Chain A
Amino acid sequence: MKVLYFAWLRSKTGVAEETVAPPPGVTTVAGLIEHLKARGGGYEDALRDLSCVRVAVNQEFAELDQAIGAGDEIALFPPVTGG
């Protein structure tokens, strides 16, 4: 699956976009986030407080319990501040 990071999630992880192949047990957004957090470093720092993180799956807002699969595009970003 493709994982995208925006704003300070991109700064903290140091990555804008990457392909992730999580273990088979990862079936939801929450599972993916745990998998990424376990990498430590900037990932752990960026994903420490999920109240500041919003998620989109295939460019639609999604909740942490949403199911995800290999072909999905998952984006992690802070609450939006446009306009």
Chain B
Amino acid sequence: MIKVQREDFDVGAELAALGNANRKIGGVASFIGLVRDIADGKSVGAMTLEHYPGMTEKMLAKIEAEARARWPLEDCLIVHRFGRLEPGDRIVLVATASAHRQAALEACAFLIDWLKTKAPFWKLEETVSGARWVAARNSDDQAAARWVAE
């Protein structure tokens, strides 16, 4: 399931709802991305996440479909926020449910790695020296690429 929303999410409620009481699920893995208060040595007061409505949902659905094709998942959830967020705020939740832990853990890592390089979101950071668009990181490209090589 894909959710793209401005409002915060309740991690406990989202994880509890995952799998809808499907008794085949033996493990749930999750990743939560948060806003840091420092980036490249500068204090960050807030950040605004912009996205491309329409393409965002399409790309996230494709990434979910790819994860389901690669691992035997019983359920899968991506919640990604947009709008203005402050340090400590939640940005993204990725959660996977499977019969066994390995599929859940691997699929969860895959989802966040691919999401970071394929979903059309952009971060504008507010620092003391003004606002700046966050640059893409090579390390994120490498993290996403390792799932192609395997």
Contacts and interface: CB of A to CB of B under 8 A. Distances in A.
Interface of A: 4, 6-8, 11, 56, 59-61, 75, 77-83
Interface in B38-96: 49-52, 54-55, 58, 80, 91-92
Contacts of A61: 118
Contacts of B119: 80, 82-83
B122 A80 contact: yes
A83 B121 CA distance: 8
Q: Interface residues of B: mostly helix, strand, loop or mixed?
A: mixed
Interface stretch (B11-19, B22-30, B100-108, B128-136): B128-136
Interface of B: 33, 49-52, 54-55, 58, 80, 91-92, 112, 115-124, 133-136, 140
A83 B91 contact: yes
Given A7-B124, A59-B58, A81 B91 contact: no
A81 B32 CA distance: 16
A75 B52 contact: yes
Contact of B54 (A11, A59, A77): A59
